[in-house]
Amino acid sequence: MSDPVLAAAAQIHDVEQGLIPTPVVRTFFDEQTFTASHVVHDPVTRDAAIIDSVLEYDAASGRTSHRGAQRIVDHVRAEGLHVQWQLETHAHADHLSAAPWLQQQLGGRLGIGAEIVRVQDVFGKVFNAGTDFARDGSQFDRLFHDGDRFTIGSIQAIALHVPGHTPADMAFVIGDAAFIGDTLFMPDYGTARADFPGGDARQLYRSIRRLLSLPDRTRLFLCHDYKAPGRDHFAWETTIGAERHGNIHVHEGIEEDTFAAMRTARDATLSLPNLIMPSVQVNMRGGRLPEPESNGTRYIKIPIDTL
Ligand SMILES: [Fe+2]
């Protein structure tokens, strides 16, 4: 089957038929950056993947903390899981990845979309990273292309390229659960911004349309939630059907022109994420901090009057 979305739909059907185990998902929410990290595992083999982990960073003091990531380690150990993958849906601009630290603790191969090389090229220039910063994706163990397949234990998974928020965004459809990064948010909140370097509102619309052609009962796990007016709790799980019928930005019937005009106008009102400077510098390196200088200290750079 050549169309990756059709292949993903067939895989979701196989879960419903009981041919593939239903993946178990546990979510860890970071209230500082509104990020949902997910641990997904095969209940039969207990193989697992960790998706979009967070390393806490205090901008005022420059201090990092593994407190949140430790909760993931504790969960993995308590459940007796074997981590096969550390997956990033994209190079995040609002939080630092804990993937390298989690790899040390738990193992797993680090994977991200192949277009990360474009992100590395753009931000390598912004931060004047120098020739020691490779812009070929070599900081990662696997670069995913649209339609690439992988497995978590006995569960099949497929990667979908869903650019728009950034050029490198991927969605991972694992069994019947789709981890869609920054594309759709909860139906009452809408969609991700498309104004970062390399972002594109029309491309985001087309990526979302692809996702919305998955079966209605596909379980969706989001990367962020900011609550919505009238909702007082964080939420990160919904379904394709709920998004198709009810997403305030892209429900059925909203055309590309309407969406792009709305998205562009809304993005113009948004300020940059608090942690964009440290996040991008670290995440373009696969979550590794910049190399220490001659005094042994690592530094984050701030380009003035650039972003
Ligand atoms: Fe993002």
Predicted confidence (pLDDT) per residue in 121-171, tens digit: 999 999 999 888 999 999 999 999 999 999 999 999 999 999 999 999 999
Predicted confidence (pLDDT) per residue in 266-287, tens digit: 999 999 999 999 999 999 999 9
C-beta of residue 283 within 8 angstroms of C-beta of residue 96: yes
Q: How far is the CA of 161 from the centre of ligand 1 (A)?
A: 14
Taking the CB of residue 267, how many other CB atoms lie within 10 A of it? 15
Tokens 């220490």 belong to 292
Query: CA 66, CA 59: separation in Å to the nearest integer?
Result: 15
Q: How far is the CA of 177 from the centre of ligand 1 (A)?
A: 19
Q: How far is the CA of 196 from the centre of ligand 1 (A)?
A: 9
Q: What is the mean pLDDT of the chain?
A: 97
For helices 276-283 and 116-126, angle between their N-to-C axes, nearest 10 degrees? 130
Burial of residue 70 (CB within 10 Å: 0-12, 13-18, 19+) is: middle
Q: How far is the CA of 90 from the centre of ligand 1 (A)?
A: 7
Query: CA 299, CA 128: separation in Å to the nearest integer?
Result: 13
pLDDT of residue 130: 87
Q: How far is the CA of 170 from the centre of ligand 1 (A)?
A: 11
Residue type, 192: A
Closest CA to 186 of 64, 67, 29: 29
Q: How far is the CA of 294 from the centre of ligand 1 (A)?
A: 33
Architecture per CATH, domain 4-282, reads as 4-Layer Sandwich (3.60)
Q: Rounded to 10 degrees, what is the CA torsion of 26, 29, 35, 38? A: -10
φ and ψ of 258, to 5 deg: -65, -45
pLDDT of residue 64: 97
**Residue 188 pLDDT > 60, yes or no?**
yes
Q: Which helix (H) or strand (E) holds 25?
A: strand 24-30
Q: How far is the CA of 14 from the centre of ligand 1 (A)?
A: 31
**Residue 1 pLDDT > 60, yes or no?**
no
Q: How far is the CA of 37 from the centre of ligand 1 (A)?
A: 13
Q: How far is the CA of 22 from the centre of ligand 1 (A)?
A: 27
